[in-house]
Amino acid sequence: MGQTSYRTVAHSAPRNQSLRLRHYAPYLLALVVLAVGVSGLLAAHSYIIYSLSSLHAVSVSAEPGSYYLDSAAQWWSGDAAHLEELAGEWPASLPALLGEIALLWRERETILEREALPTASGAKIVPADAAGRVHLLDVAIDARLAALANRWSRIAGEARLMQYYGYPIADARRVRIVEPEEVEKALDGAALPEGVLDGYRIVLLPFALENTAGIGTAGEAALGAAPDTGAVSPHRTAYTLLHELGHHVHFAYIDGNPDKDVLWQEYMALRGIGAWSESGQVESPAWVQSPQETFAEDFRLLFGDASARHFPHGTAYGDPTAASDGGEAVRSFMLKLMTSG
C-alpha cells in the first residue's frame, strides 16, 4: 500500500534492537571512568558547556520560516567543525573525546529524566523539543565514537543526522508534531491491565520519518511528526501508538520470555500463520506476512478505542474480530501475556 494521504504505517524496531538503552552504554561509561581522568574531563568541559547552550536554542517552535531540521543542521555544522579539529589531533585528542562523550551522555540522560511528562497510565511522554535535543546528542555521541577509532567523516556524520535508529528522516520542513495531549487521550482509551505501561516511554519526534508513522520495541515507542500536507488523519496518533504498544507487548512478554518459541507458535496457531516471516520494509510482502506486525495490528484492534480502530487491519491475516469468537481467543492470549509476565 505504501504511504497514503490518510496515514503512514507504523513499524517495529529490529527484534534485537532497543530504542531505550544503547547497547554500548554500560561499557562506554565504565571505559570513561577508567580512561578519561580529570584531564580529559577538563579538556572537554569548556567546549561542551558552549555546545549545550547552543543546543538548547534548537527549538521546535522556531521563528516563522525556520524549522527544526534547519536549526538542527546549523548546530551540527558547528559540532562537526569542532570534531574535525579533534580528528586532526588524534590520538592526542582521545582524552578530550572520551570526556565529551561522558558529558554529552550525562546531558542526554538528564533531559530524558527531567523533561519527560508523567501520565496517569504510568507511561512517560518525551515532548518534541526534548526529543530533538536527544537526537542531536545521539548523533554527537556516535560521531565521537567514530572519532575515537580514527574513523571520523563529516559525510558519514551528516548522513547519521538524517537517520533515527536507522530509519531515514524525511526532508520535510513543515510538519505537524504529535502533541502530548493526543498521546494521553489515546492511552486513556486503551483497555490495558494495570502496570503494563509502567516506565513505558513515548518519544514525540520533531521531524517526520520516511514511510512510517512510528517505531517501537520493549519499553519505548517513537512517534514521528506528519508532513504538513493538510491531509493528516485525526486518528493517526491513536492508530500509531496502539500499534507500537502491540510491539511493546510482544517484545516484552514473548521475545523476552525463555519460552518465546512456544508462545509465538501458540499465537501463530491462533491466527493461522503457517511460517515465520521477519518484518521487512513497511507494507512490503514480508511486513504483510509478519507475525510481529500481525500481533501489533491485532493488539491495536482488540485493545484500542474507536480512534485506534479507525483503520482496517493491515496484514494478510485480517481483523481478528471477524472470527466466529469475535477475536476473544487472541484477546485472551494477549491478556494472559500481560498479566502473567
Its pTM stands at: 0.86
pLDDT digits (tens, 9 = 90+) for 96-128: 898 889 889 999 999 999 999 999 999 999 999
What's the CA gap between 185 and 187, in Å, rounded? 5
Residue 182 pLDDT > 50, yes or no? yes
The answer to whether the CB of 330 falls within 8 A of the CB of 270 is yes
The answer to whether the CB of 180 falls within 8 A of the CB of 103 is no
> What pLDDT does residue 78 have?
92
Please list, residue by residue across 287-304, b when 16 or more beta carbons sit within 10 angstroms of its beta carbon and e when fewer do: bbbbbbbbbbbbbbbbbb
> What pLDDT does residue 110 have?
95
> What pLDDT does residue 245 have?
97
> What pLDDT does residue 283 have?
62
Q: Please compute the mean of the pLDDT values over residues 193-220 and round it to a whole number.
A: 93
Residue 65 pLDDT > 70, yes or no? no
Residue 172 pLDDT > 60, yes or no? yes
Cis upstream peptide for 227 (omega within 30°): no
Name 267's Cβ contacts closer than 8 Å, sequence gap at least 6: 254, 273, 291, 295, 330, 333
> What pLDDT does residue 341 have?
55
The pairing of strands 117-118 and 124-126 is antiparallel
Label residue 69 by pLDDT band (50, 70, 90): confident
Q: Where are the domains of the chain?
A: 10-17+175-340, 25-164
> What pLDDT does residue 96 have?
87
What mean pLDDT value characterizes the chain?
85
pLDDT digits (tens, 9 = 90+) for 211-249: 889 999 899 999 999 988 777 899 999 999 999 999 999
Locus of grid cell 516563522: 64
